[in-house]
Amino acid sequence: MDVKFITVHCSATKADVDVDAKMIDQWHRQKGWLKIGYHFVIKRDGTIEPGRKLDEVGAHVAGFNKGNIGICMAGGLDANGKPQDNFTEAQYTSLDSLLTLLEEDFPKAELRGHRDFPGVNKACPCFDVRAWRETTR
């Protein structure tokens, strides 16, 4: 499998909303999608839930889904609905562990946040993924 990107997203929900893969799957099906667009969801407590199978093309970055593994972190909005890096320590620990595994399996894949793709006009995932990753290595 040729993986070019590993992309981190946020669910664009407030910190007090307990988002999981099942909920996101329902949202994406309501949009008319086949199923959840992400390959992984990291809940507020750090639990990593599976979404699409790794060998399935995701649906999470328009025009860049082929060869792109999508990870969604629950949260990303403050109490007023504005973008905010409000992820828990447990989420960051899980993201670090998941990225370590994925980078071992797909060493040529480029790590990006959703906002790092051309034409994306969103703050998602509300932090600089590459800068954060440099601090974990």
Question: What positions carry a catalytic annotation?
Answer: 9, 38, 114, 122, 124
Selection from 100, 20, 28 nearest residue 60 by Cα: 28
Half-sphere exposure in the Cβ direction for 44 (13 Å, CA): 12
DSSP letter for 16, please. T
Residue 25 host element (H or E):
helix 21-30
In angstroms, the CA 59 to CA 37 distance is: 4
Around Cβ 121, how many Cβ atoms within 10 Å?
A: 6
Backbone angles phi, psi at 31, to 5 degrees: -80, -5
